[in-house]
Structure 1
């Protein structure tokens, strides 16, 4: 009975307050003040109660962040001005197919002869026992091809270069004479062929080995022409095919 009476009294008090709110004196402490919440305070709760509104929030990306300051430090450390992309040094190398090797040989030429296959870009020094030393070479470009048999009439170390008048006419600016040395187009060694202007010689452009680039001469890497020079005597036959 007591509990029922208590609940009935509480309900009557709430009804009276709803019917005559002006009569309540909240400042006197006789009743609890009304619970008024600011919309700003309720907003987080509203967001939780309405999942569809959370989709409007910015999504967090997992894309990696570029660390520009660190990249700039690396560039500065390399001696390049900030903001400039570091340049790669171009490495010019000989195709491995044209590096020297020993191969089997069963052709008609004799040991000590030199055979140059201009189409395949190979020079063969025929040896005894059915073998040949093979070197990669550069040959005459289109319009400067030739074939024939000659003898090595002279050999020279770090030869001087005197471009023929015809070559200087085709390429104005070439010197009349250039002393032998690392910058000389004839390279470290030269084997002169008969009474012609053609030679088997080294090159200061080894990356051109295996190509048709010369004015008719047979060019080799410096280390290869030195090896050939030490094996071939004056008078050796050279067959250009």
Structure 2
């Protein structure tokens, strides 16, 4: 059994490394080694900074940090890592600002314990606002992947798509976790509406991901999901239909 206090770094696809840390290894950062350095995708939590740096530097110097979006548990390392920070143009204000707090609706959490603990957790995870050095948009290329815009959970949420082997790294376009019980699940979900900037748009973004027919989906939390492309499309569409 893996040590729950020690981060895990594992190759999940050719040239794609998942670095999982923090709460039950539930926070994912992705390492994409290139000839001139390592691109990091998504920023995890503040407590992961040293571990991410150590894991990335095994492959070479850190080239840049590309944020899937700017929520506390995805920008955590950005302010202190010392690497150029990149995000979608529509996410810049939240990365440099409150991390999306202004549209969270924590009062809608139906259970007493998570409703009480989430404000503390979000502050603990957050490394604070980070200056954005550059922005990307749909169709840009990063480390052999194409940027895909999946708004809804956050206005500028992005994923990375590699058609050659149908690998999608998608931040919080989908959840493989029960965010109220803090545990992984074996099925895809629409992100929790409590944290969504536009819930309907989040559903449509999940349909957009399904239409790509990925073979591997690596999300912001928990382990990746693998399936034949047609099966993956069905599973993601079912998640979108559940809303």
TM-score range, shorter chain: under 0.3
* Structure ID, larger Rg: 1
TM-score computed with the length of structure 1 as normaliser: 0.21
Q: Which has the higher strand share?
A: 2
TM-score computed with the length of structure 2 as normaliser: 0.21
Higher relative contact order (CA 8 A, sep 6+): 1
